[in-house]
Structure 1
Amino acid sequence: MAETQNWNKLSWHKFPALQQPNWPDKERYDEIIQTLSLLPPLVFAGEIRDLKAVLAKAVRGEAFLLQGGDCSEEFSRCTAPNIRETLKVLLQMAVILTYAGNKPVVKVGRIAGQYAKPRSSDTENINGLEIPSYRGDMANSADPILEARIPDPDRLMKGYHLSAATMNLLRAFTRGGFSSLHRVQAWNQEFVRQSPMGRSYERMAKQISNALKFMETIGISTDIPQLKEAQFFTSHEALFLGYEQALTREDSVAGGWYDCSAHMLWIGDRTRQLDGAHVEFLRGVRNPIGIKVGPSHDIDNILAIVERLNPENEPGRITLITRFGYKVIDKYLPPLLRAVKKSGYHVLWTCDPMHANTFKAESGHKTRDFDNILSELRCFFELNWVEGTVPGGVHFELTGDDVTECIGGARQLSDAQLGLRYLTTCDPRLNAEQALEMAFQIAEMIRSS
């Protein structure tokens, strides 16, 4: 990637920046940004290049992207058990997709920095009082009182430190033996173990264990990094641009600028204006970039954004994350697939089947139906096959916890059961059992590719 013309990590200030908190203490905010710019990076340029290389393989159909985690991370849930359970379910899904789908899986978590969230309005009305909207724990508190909703720049610093703690634990888990394929059976959560999906997973895990034992018996060493460690990357929406700017560093080894807050960043439906600050900032960093595309998109605008962010058409740089909803994906996806294919742009096609399939249940809970999610995924694969493009990945909101937030699945979770363990403060997530069931279904689609 050649040096970006007329860009530096401050150039976004000249463009309209949407979805930024209204920081009341500008002086304190500037102090925090300056301090963050001197702290160590959370990830490293070499790791970012590694991710881009494996995403380039997914563009060609030689690998598959699994991206998942919380809708919005919460400071209070940055604990070892929560991090471990999220990692565990992603590892389980990845091994299912790899073993049953016969394709290497790129594992990317929505974790270690997903503390900011876009909102449709700057304020909301609670009990007759207009207060600032909750913009994620890195900006303010979800507590529905005025004092808690005033954006506090010190939360940016706390977000950095908790992201660093999360990264530290993820590195320990993925490189210290926890993610070894020898432990594939130990990843199964207790509440999942006796379920239909849990039993299917156990059978597959036993087959993997037997294969490893066979290799050892005939003298092939299984004490190698490919089996003992997991390559795991992080991602979040690049929303609060001051924070992203502060963690953007020039690589001392190979040159070029990298946003070292995460390996992969994405830009949302609300902030992908061609002449906006988010596109301006992201065009200059060398991270892989995801672009969320919903029903309101304009095809020519998407093509222009892809060109702006990836003028050299580098494979692995751009991931298009479609989120249309199961009812209309067959209307919106085919024209987009054709236009991008005709343009010759190298993009990774992935599907986020969660966001456009959200609705309010009779119980009053915001939820998603497992069957609707699966329906959009099947359409995504089939439409790519028809158009001769590669269905290269999936993007989920999920948790390793035993939550009851999405209806359906093997246990046919009902509307009436949502209140049992509805823990999210943001969007409803698949629980571990539902995530495993989804992985087995996707593996069959991959094998058919």
Structure 2
Amino acid sequence: MKLTVQANGICIGCLSLDALSGLYAFDYSVEWLAKEQRFPLSPVLPLVRQSLSAEQHSAHVRQFFQNLLPEGQALDDAAQANKVSKSNLIGLLVALGRETAGALEISLDDSQALSTPLAAKRLLTREELSQRIRSRPDLAFSVWDGKVRLSIAGYQDKIALLEENGLWFLVDGGSLASTHLLKPDPIRSGLQHMTSNEFACMRLARAVGVAAADIRLEHIPDPVLLIRRFDRRITTEGIDRLHCIDGCQALGLGVSMKYERPYGDGRDVQHIRDGASLPKLFALFDRVSAQPTADRLALLRWTIFQTLIGNTDAHGKNLSFFIDAGGIRLAPAYDLLCCLIYSGDQISDTLSMAIGDNFDVLSLTPYDWALMAVECGLNARLVSRELKQMANKILKIWPELKVHLATANADDVTLKAIEATLNQQCQHALSIADNIPKVSKELL
């Protein structure tokens, strides 16, 4: 079984599965290797295959392409709609691969395809969208017109759409591509107004200097988020797709390893920390970044911001990287949430990636930050300075920003809950920041 992997009309390579051995392989095309601006899909899928065993290569390939698929209920819905097992990677890529995160378009190669899908664009009215949002308990939100409209990883309900002249379209095939992701509030009652939460945190990030995706909140009348895709670029000739991978793809980890403690927080397994982590991500920049100093600083600010807004779900798949011929660089932030306002049974209050050895965002100490600095190759004074500056910026900017968020009809109760968390986290950060460089190196 072979699939063609291309980007913007250029064949990058071939993904294959040997039915007898069960092994995957990916081979770059001669056309791609001949290009002056060629680049690998991921640091773990180099242009020249390393001296790995067939089994090791297969594992890297499978993990990379599995990370393109949705998760949770959306994966179940995709499998059911296409009548394939949710463990059937090739089958799901055939069904979902024409609109993935990043630049890649995946399809059957010409020798296997019975026909070439025609480009299609159909209007999605706000009335139809509102009805479908309310019908989610009985009808999968990711399936429209008998087709799955989602190949973006994550658990939240979302669809990809094209926005033109204020109108929204579902698109298929050809040169058509989505420009935005649309998210409604979750169905679970305890997570209502998450759209206001994410809207506020994303706007706050941009206001304090953390690069984040462009986002807006609309009511149709149901609240929905419109997130502009940073992996799409609108040109006079159409829409270019930009190659972009998530943290797990960059580190060569499977989707199940997106948390640093991939087996959970239980007593018997909490010491196993094989998943995505800050030391691994910072080390990645040392190896393959196009601008390591700038990227390391940007990642530090991303990390600090997560702790100050109380985002305990900032895991390895919640940050992404652009890749081109120059190397890898950090992409804008997304999925920023104040998770602490849902503490309890709704969302875990344990950090997805530790600060030092501490997974409790409410009890971070100078030692935790100093240990993180050592593990990630950062200067403790830099960490101290950035923590103070970010906390002060948030406290200064939030009151005026809150007014603008309310003008956009963000939920008032949610904004007040976020404000309480910001005040708590920022004041605590300011109380400990000066002591970070004072932690004895002998203790670290």
Relative to the length of structure 2, the TM-score reads 0.29
Relative to the length of structure 1, the TM-score reads 0.29
Return the structure number with greater helix share.
1
